[in-house]
Chain A
Amino acid sequence: MSRRFRLWLVAVGGAGLAALFTAAALDLPAFGGDHHPYGDRAVHASLSRHTANVIASVNFDQRAFDTLGEMTILFAAVIGCGALLRQTRDEHRATPEPQEVARPVRRYALLVLPVALLTGLYVIAHGQLSPGGGFQGGVVAATSLHLLYLGADYRALERVRPVALYETGDAVATSAYVVTGLAALIGGSAFLANTLLPYGTFNTLSSGGTVPLLNAAVGMEVACAVVVLLARFLDQAVEIEEGNGT
């Protein structure tokens, strides 16, 4: 297909989509309207189960089964990247040389690393109370470790990041989510139903029943998954080189 023909095809298809989309948008309820039946019910359900952050309640209580699917997608992506980015027979592993790092960069990275890690853990721990949660906090915690790569060098990062341990952590966290769901089943309720634990006092760390547990499992899974994913890509960029084993 020539580029000209392709552009023409995109123009026709895009114009058709734009026309249909505009027609559909004109028929949608007006922007900013007051009619949100599902949202109002979600808020009501969340408050009745003493979860201050309604989004956490939707993710880890009302739609906990969907979040299991989401976690599995992430888990599968980690396995897929591991399979795609493994070292092949015609490649060899070179030891990365330590590089000079500018002093202000080193100082700033080492100063911010503990703060960023603590922020990540805080965001995970307060997922059921304040904006944030396992997904967001996990990413913050995982990226904070990589400040060591910017501030020191790759070998320092490898010392604090044994990839095998994080791969195990990823699997354990995913299993923990499933086990929490099965516990509800054994307790005489539905899979992942939030009926097992007392709902606690509103707006405290232990409120929300199983929401904090599932939130912590997701936080651990996301942190481990991001570390393993970045490790695969960094290996390709820094360590693995083409060549015949020279």
Chain B
Amino acid sequence: MGVLPYLVAGWVFLTGCYGLATSRNLIHAVGCLSVCQAGTYVLLLAVGYRHDATAPVFSDLKPGSRPVVDPLVQALTLTDVVVGATVTALLLALVVQISKRHGTVDPDELSELRG
């Protein structure tokens, strides 16, 4: 039971990798990359979890009255989400360009070089 959340994170990551490798559509591949990244969110939050703890926000909580979960990994997860969103935006922009230049978004058909 103690390692289950970590294993879930690895499983989500590998699911995304499988999708990336077998993808027939670049938009689908970008989605799979987001799934890979979701695995890292799960891992980070699992590392920071503490039993019977609450959110590390003290606006309605007396400091020291209850344990709080690790705020550091939550901040890292926030960074992770932001970077993930920018990567997704850039990759989708590249997919738009590829679809215009080559008329396809199937990675298997994009093997030939073109000037």
Contacts and interface: CB of A to CB of B under 8 A. Distances in A.
A222 B55 CA distance: 24
B82 A131 contact: no
Contacts, number: 149
A32 B89 CA distance: 35
B110 interface: no
A203 B81 CA distance: 27
A57 B56 CA distance: 11
Nearest to B14: A14
A192 to B, nearest CB: 15
A9 B73 CA distance: 33
B97 A21 contact: no
Interface in A169-184: none
Contacts of A131: 55, 57
A39 B75 CA distance: 11
Contact of A25 (B6, B67, B68, B93): B6
A54 interface: yes
Contacts of B73: 39
Contact of B10 (A21, A38, A59, A81): A21
A7 B22 contact: yes
A59 to B, nearest CB: 5
A116 interface: no
Given A43-B68, A74-B86, A81-B90, A130 B75 contact: no
A68 B9 CA distance: 28
B57 A84 contact: no
Given A31-B2, A36-B48, A229-B89, A203 B14 contact: no
A66 to B, nearest CB: 7
A31 B3 contact: yes
Q: Identify the interface centre among B17, B70, B97: most chain A CB within 10 Å of its CB.
A: B70
Contact of A233 (B79, B92, B100, B108): B92
A84 B96 contact: yes
Given A28-B47, A77-B89, A17 B14 contact: yes
Closest 6 CB pairs of A and B: A39-B70, A77-B86, A25-B6, A54-B71, A54-B56, A58-B75
